Amino acid sequence: MTKQSIIFFDIDGTLLNDEKEMPKTAKDAIYKLKENGHIVAIATGRAPFMFEKLRAELEIDTYVSYNGQYVVLNGEVLYTNPLKIEPLERLTEEALRHNHPVLYMDHKDMKANVPEHPFIYESIRSLRIEQFPTHDPSYYKGRPLYQSIIFCEAGEEQFYQEKFPDFDFIRWHPVSVDVIPTGGSKANGIEKITEKLGFSRERQFAFGDGPNDVEMLSRIYNSVAMGNADESLKSVAKYVTKSVDDNGIQYGLQMVGLL
C-alpha cells in the first residue's frame, strides 16, 4: 500500500449533501481508504452528539468537533478548549436586549436560554438531527462549554464581534452564528491529532466546503475544496474536486492519489 496518511472530512456540504444524505461513492471511498491502511477522521463544527450515527456508520473514532474545541483520538478526549464563561454571560445579556436567543453546548447536550424561537427551530432543523435543544437559561453555569450559538440575521453579528474579543463568530446559517474561543479552529484541533500521531505535513489531507473550513484548508498541506464550496474557499485550497452530489469525495481522493 501507499504510505499511511490521515484524511479529515467536514460533514455538511462535504460528506453530506443538502438533503443530509451521503452519496454511496463517498461511503465506499472512505471504507477503501481504511482498507488501504489510512486513518479517516472528521473535522466539523457540529457537536459530538450531532454525528454519532455517522461515526458509527463509517466506523470512525477520531474527530475534531465544535470547530476544533473538542478533539477525540481513537475514542479518547485529546484536547478541549472551553469558552470563557464571564464574557459569555455578558454576551447573553446583550443578546437578550436584542431579542437574539443563545444556545449553550457542551459535549453531551445543548440548551437554549429562551423556551422557543423561530430562528432556533429553523437553523437546528436544517441539520436534520434527532436532538433539539431544550430550555435551560442557567446551563452555562458549572460546566465547560465548547461552543455557543447566537441566533441573528446576517450582519447583526458584527455588533458582537466588536464588543466581545474573547470570541470568534462564524456564520453557518442565515439566522445562526457559531461562537467559539478566539483563535479556535478546525486547523488547531487537527494539529493536536497530527502532532500526537507524528504525521508529516505531506501525509495530511482535508476536505471542506464552508466558511469554517478556511483556516483548515489554508494550513493543511493537501487541502481539497468541494466543487460546491464558495469561491473564497476554493482560492485557498490546493485542489478543487467536484460537488458532493457529483461524486466529489471519490473524485477528489483519486485526484490526490489516495484511491
A 10 A CB-CB count for 183 gives 10
Catalytic annotation present for 10: yes
Cα angle value 149/151/153 (rounded, 5°): 135
Which residues have C-beta within 8 Å of that of residue 135, sequence separation ≥ 6?
A: 111, 112, 113, 114, 115, 116
How many residues make up the chain in this entry? 259
Q: Take residue 85 and report the three cell numbers written for it.
A: 464563561
d(CA 99, CA 114): 10
Q: Take residue 158 and report the three cell numbers written for it.
A: 458584527
**Is 67:147 a contact under the CB 8 Å cutoff?**
yes
Catalytic one of 10, 106, 178, 213: 10
d(CA 230, CA 211): 8
Listing DSSP states for 150-210 in one string gives: E---TTTHHHHHHH-TTEEEEEEETTEEEEEETT--HHHHHHHHHHHHT--GGGEEEEE-S
Q: Count how many Cα atoms sit within 13 Å of the Cα of residue 212 in the half-sphere of its side chain.
A: 31
Which residues have C-beta within 8 Å of that of residue 200, sequence separation ≥ 6?
A: none
d(CA 56, CA 149): 26
> Active-site residues: which are they?
10
